[in-house]
Amino acid sequence: PATESKRLRIAMQKSGRLSVDSQALFTSCGLKINLREQRLIAHVENMDIDILRVRDDDIPGLVMDGVCDLGIVGENVLEEESLQRQLDNDSFDYTVLKRLDFGGCRLSIAVPQEDEYRGPASLDGKTIATTYPRLLGRYLKQQGVNARVVNLKGSVEVAPRAGLADAICDLVSTGATLEANGLKEVDVIYRSKAVLIQRKELTDSKQLKLIDKLMPRINGVMQANE
C-alpha cells in the first residue's frame, strides 16, 4: 500500500496475560484509545498512532517483517520466533527499546512429582512436550542432552499424564498449574518479561519523533511503578 498514512503502528496482544498491562502502559503514556472497541485496529485519538490487537505469537513476525513499527511481546515468544527464523533463513531483525516491568515468567522443565531428577542428564532419551521447541532445543544442545521434543500448542501440562511425554517444558509463574497436574519444576531454562520492540529500518522522521516522545513517558511510568 502507498505510505501516505504514516501513522505509527503498534502491535499488542488482543486478549491474554499481556493485554491489560500493555493497554495500561499506553493509557499512562497519554494515548487516548477507545477501550470498548473490540476491533483489530484501534485508532489513537490524540496521536498519529494505530494499535493493532493480535495473537501474541504474531507480534514478533509483524515487527520483523516491518508490517508493524512497534510491538509489545514476551521475550519467550520473541526469542522462539528468532530462533525459528534463523533456522528457516528468514529475516529476524528488531531492536529492543525497553524491557518492561510486566509479563514476568520462566520457561521451566517439569517432571512428574514422583520422578527422580538429577540435572539435565536425567532427560537423556526422554520425550519432552513443549510449545517452545527452539528454546528447549537450544538448551538441550547446550547441556549435551539427547531428548525427543514434541511440539504441542496447548495443554502441555497434561502431556505426561496422558502418556504423551516424560517431561514438559512450559511457562511458569506461580507453579500452581504444575502442582495441580502432579508435576514439579526442576530446571529454569529461560527467564522472560514483556519487551517493547521496534522494527529495524524505521526511518520516517515523524515516526521517529513520536517514538522519542513516547520513550521518556514509558520510562517515567516505569519509575513511578517501582
Residues 6 or more apart in contact with residue 223 via CB below 8 angstroms: none
Residues that bind ligand ATP (CB under 6 A): 13, 16-18, 55-57, 74, 76-77, 103, 105, 171, 173, 192
| Residue given cell 497436574 in the structure block | 181
φ, ψ of residue 123 to 5 degrees: the values are -90, -5
| Binding partner of residue 198 among ligand ATP, Zn ion, none, CB cut-off 5 to 8 Å per kind | none
Q: Is the CB of residue 188 less than 8 Å from the CB of residue 130?
A: no
| Residue given cell 486478549 in the structure block | 15
Q: Which amino acid is at 51?
A: I
| Site for Zn ion contains 14 (CB under 5 A) | no
Distance CA 12, CA 134 (A): 23
| Binding partner of residue 160 among ligand ATP, Zn ion, none, CB cut-off 5 to 8 Å per kind | none
| Binding partner of residue 111 among ligand ATP, Zn ion, none, CB cut-off 5 to 8 Å per kind | none
The residue with its CB nearest to ligand ATP is 74
| Site for Zn ion contains 57 (CB under 5 A) | yes
Distance CA 121, CA 111 (A): 13
| Binding partner of residue 103 among ligand ATP, Zn ion, none, CB cut-off 5 to 8 Å per kind | ligand ATP
CB of residue 102 to Zn ion, shortest distance in Å: 16
| Site for Zn ion contains 166 (CB under 5 A) | no
**Which of residues 76 and 122 has its CB atom nearest to ligand ATP in the complex?**
76
CB of residue 183 to ligand ATP, shortest distance in Å: 14
Identify the DSSP state of 7. P
CB of residue 203 to Zn ion, shortest distance in Å: 30
Return the C-alpha cell found at 215. Answer: 520513550
Tally the residues of the chain.
Answer: 226
